[in-house]
Amino acid sequence: MQSSSPTLISPLILSLIKPVVKHETGSDLPYRMTVHPHGDGILCSFQQSCRLFEWKDSEGNEVHKLGVKASEKVLTQLEDVGQQLALTFDSEGSILAVGGEDGSLRVFKWPSMEKILDEAQPLSSVKNLDFSCDGKFLVSLGSALCRVWDVTSSKVVTSLAKGNDEVFAFCRFSPINDKNTHLYIAAVTDHGGSILTYNTTTWNRIRTSRVVRDAISAFNVSSDGKFLAVGIVGGDLFIINAANMKVQMMVKKAHLGLVRALTFSPDSRAVVSASLDSSARVTLIKDKNRSGGMSWIIIILMVLLAIAVYFMKENGIAIKDLTILW
């Protein structure tokens, strides 16, 4: 992945061209990764096991450079477990969930690695995982099943049903206010990509919104719940307004290949996208308030124009003199 030393491409887009961190793993290629929210390092899944990498500071001539190193801590609970397709921490970094290609779902306390849940579903690979904002629920999305778990009791709360032409691709919890949360499922259908919205009290589907015409290849939600980011197989990037499910911003051909990963900045003002074309970029989200301000300026000008026309009619001034008055 490429990173820092940004080059300005447009007022809204920064392209990252130099790697900040590089760590060789030889022929054992990392397949998935997740970053601990409070600095405990990076957890990577390889072909058969998961390994932890820690942050380190390497001092240069003038600046301190960020780096990573293999941790001395061996995660014996995640050795020889096969390919893991999904890794995630809860927001506090105290719980780790891991989902496997073989359908296994494992949940541990972090950093003790005390087992909370070990569930096997051999007919459904676990492709995506996400914790609710309060850490109470975990959603696991597989090739055949989408389940919501109560983390404390390790019990299934509900299983979410698909429509006839729906293929669930990604799952994300998102806050809608201080007390309530939505669960979003990004689905691929015969007619393009849709976002399914679920109530997290009743677990009923409350909205189905078709947002793109192509298959969704990446999906994420901003930390404030205001925006959804959607990447498609053609390389386009979409920012969706969560309030009305309308496209607020689109970057055509953001990448040459399909968009593979998306994440928002902590302040929800930018989104980072990565692609199979070995590129990464930062897209700044348009300031809706600023565009709204421009709309008010246009409205005010139109009102002033109408007043000017009315004034001219009342005083017998010809329309051709309008430019002089204006």
Question: Residue 23 — very low, low, confident or very high, per pLDDT cuts 50/70/90?
Answer: confident
* Residue 302, H or E segment: helix 288-315
Q: Which of 47, 1, 2 is nearest to 26 (CA)?
A: 47
pLDDT digits over 238-258, tens only? 999 999 999 999 999 999 999
266 by Cβ neighbours in 10 Å (0-12 / 13-18 / 19+) ranks as: exposed
Q: Which of 261, 262, 259 is nearest to 270 (CA)?
A: 262
Contact between 40 and 48 under an 8 Å Cβ cutoff? The reply is: no
Decide: pTM greater than 0.75: yes
pLDDT digits over 147-168, tens only? 999 999 999 999 999 988 899 9
pLDDT digits over 123-148, tens only? 689 999 999 999 999 999 997 789 99
More confident residue, 295 or 92: 92
The C-alpha atoms of residue 255 and residue 241 are separated, in whole angstroms, by: 22
Which residues are registered as beta bridge partners of 104?
120
pLDDT digits over 188-207, tens only? 999 899 999 999 999 999 99
Three-class DSSP category at 295: helix
pLDDT for 65 equals: 66
The C-alpha atoms of residue 86 and residue 214 are separated, in whole angstroms, by: 24
The C-alpha atoms of residue 9 and residue 167 are separated, in whole angstroms, by: 35
- Would you say residue 295 has pLDDT above 80? no
The CA distances from residue 138 to 154, 158, 181, 185, 278, in Å, are: 9, 11, 13, 13, 31
DSSP state of 23: -
pLDDT for 257 equals: 92
Question: Residue 212 — very low, low, confident or very high, per pLDDT cuts 50/70/90?
Answer: very high
Q: Once rounded to an integer, what is the mean pLDDT over residues 87-92? A: 97
76 by Cβ neighbours in 10 Å (0-12 / 13-18 / 19+) ranks as: exposed
Sheet holding 205-212, edge to edge: 167-175, 181-189, 192-199, 205-212
Residue 86 tokens, joined:
């999904």
Q: Pick the range with the lowest mean pLDDT from 178-192, 252-266, 288-302.
A: 288-302
Contact between 98 and 78 under an 8 Å Cβ cutoff? The reply is: yes
What is the average pLDDT value for the chain, to the nearest integer? 85
